[in-house]
Structure 1
Amino acid sequence: MDGLNSLGLFIGSLFANTLASLSGGGAGLIQFPLLIFLGLPFSVALATHKIASVALGLGAAVKHIRSGKLNWSMTGYVIASGTLGVILGANAILFVPGRLAEAALGLLIIGLGVYSLYQPSLGQNESARRRDTKGLIAGSLGLAGIGVINGSLTAGSGLFVTLFLIRWFGYDYKQAVALTMISVGLFWNGTGALAMYAAGAEIFWPWLPILIAGSLLGGYLGAHLAIRQSNKLIKRCFEALTFLIGAKLLFGM
């Protein structure tokens, strides 16, 4: 890769991961298609993106942990609830044609954006609910299902987790994004990357240093913006990404 393409890859990764860290997911909207555009086959680009996306979670985690506001018990709960689903999804995607699944997921993600758009008060203030034993058990099933999406497809699972934490448990956008970026961005993506590698997926190692640098910096920068900005702005960024990612998955743009 020449210097110009390397710079383009870094800028694309930085931009994608900053938006994802601010909104609670969606780095694959830009980073994954960029790898294909630069010449990687689909399966190689997917595995390479999965590895690099772990750095997104790491960069965001550093900032959110330093803020001192992270709910560690809930973070552990989200990680544990989705891990099995991530492993199942990462193994399944290597053998299942993904076009129909991507189109269906695109419709669902657009639905998330429409729902958020027409709920003005959604995620603006915390309203704790379903945090008892029964609610946590039921919630773990939903998170496990989202974990399958995370392991198998390239973009959108973080957005599902963000909205799920808001609707099911009553977190505001800031809290939900922080939980999502550490649980999904770091641990779910790390588990999915390891599962794909163990299942025989090929990774293009020469580009990883550039991708990791963009992901780390973007994750930290997005988390910094998420902590400083209002829930309303984060909500608007979330909605914009759902429409963009949904259109990409639905129409294959």
Structure 2
Amino acid sequence: MFDQLVLFAASLAANFFSALSGGGAGLIQFPMLIFLGLPFGIALATHKVASVALGLGATLRHLKASHLERRMSLIILGAGLPGVVLGAATILQIPERAATLALGALTLGLGLYSVLKPRLGMEHAPRNWHGAGLWGGMAGLFAVGFLNGSITSGTGLFLTVWLIRWFGLDYTRAVAYTLILCGLVWNGTGALVLGVLGTVAWGWMPALLAGSILGGYLGSHLALRKGNLWIKRAFETVTILIGLKLIFG
């Protein structure tokens, strides 16, 4: 019972901040599973399954004020899902420490980049939806999908900033796409692949799912009420903390 309470509290906190900032639930949730005794591979598969509930909780809130457009949704799914499948199928072949350090440096860089760009994500100005710009954006989505399938901590943040920087979305819209499409569909695909190839700790799942759904809903609710500036500050805080955590352990 104590372990279930710990799992619920940590999952609630992790997914609340993830829904507010557009990613990063793995900063707390994944290391916690390892700390409580799960081997890396089982912890990875378990975290991926639980992270689908974050997308469900966020979807329940964002659909009430949805800014999602069908075309952009199809682009994100079509370009990103093949990367998710490839990443999830190859993760156990990648040296863990090297991948973690690289991800930490990139994540920290995202946060600092946003800090140095005060207007980043403050306005919705769509671009690169056609021609060469679209193909470049899809290549980026494939790369982010690969990271999402293979690495556990903070990869939703990469999708958020890519949608802002390349496609011209504001933070509110980018986070909605990330939480619904990445959180629900990308993570669901990765969870399916890892569930087939690996092992899931199903006995740990009730508390993780409850914390993920509730945290995702509450974080999304606060983000929609507070708007772009709050989301931007949350994004910067979470990315910098995740980057430092991954680099320095």
- Counterpart of 1:245 in structure 2 is 242
Q: Over the residues paired in the alignment, what is the CA RMSD in angstroms? A: 1.1
Within a 5 Å distance, the mapping from 1:132-143 to structure 2 comes to 132-143=130-141
- Counterpart of 2:191 in structure 1 is 193
Within a 5 Å distance, the mapping from 1:1-253 to structure 2 comes to 3-199=1-197, 201-252=198-249
Structure 1: which 5+ residue stretches go unaligned? none
The TM-score, its normalising length taken from structure 1, stands at: 0.95
Aligned residues of 1:109 and 1:243 also touching (Cα < 8 A)? yes
**Counterpart amino acid of 1:87?**
V
Cα shift at 1:191: 0.6
Instruction: Tell me, in whole angstroms, the C-alpha distance in 1 between the residues paired with 2:66 and 2:191.
Output: 28
The TM-score, its normalising length taken from structure 2, stands at: 0.97
Determine helix, strand or coil for the equivalent of 2:93. Answer: coil
**Counterpart amino acid of 1:222?**
G
Instruction: Tell me, in whole angstroms, the C-alpha distance in 2 between the residues paired with 1:79 and 1:226.
Output: 23
Instruction: Tell me, in whole angstroms, the C-alpha distance in 2 between the residues paired with 1:111 and 1:165.
Output: 16
Cα shift at 1:244: 1.0
Aligned residues of 1:76 and 1:183 also touching (Cα < 8 A)? no
Aligned residues of 1:64 and 1:70 also touching (Cα < 8 A)? no
Structure 2: which 5+ residue stretches go unaligned? none
Determine helix, strand or coil for the equivalent of 2:149. Answer: helix
Instruction: Tell me, in whole angstroms, the C-alpha distance in 1 between the residues paired with 2:220 and 2:177.
Output: 11
Aligned residues of 1:75 and 1:182 also touching (Cα < 8 A)? no
Q: Deviation above 6 Å: which 4+ runs of structure 1?
A: none
**Counterpart amino acid of 1:143?**
L
Instruction: Tell me, in whole angstroms, the C-alpha distance in 1 between the residues paired with 2:70 and 2:156.
Output: 18
Instruction: Tell me, in whole angstroms, the C-alpha distance in 1 between the residues paired with 2:152 and 2:7.
Output: 17
Query: Number of residues paired by the alignment?
Result: 249
Aligned residues of 1:22 and 1:226 also touching (Cα < 8 A)? yes
Percentage of matched positions with identical amino acids? 55
Cα shift at 1:168: 0.5
Cα shift at 1:95: 2.2
Aligned residues of 2:67 and 2:176 also touching (Cα < 8 A)? no
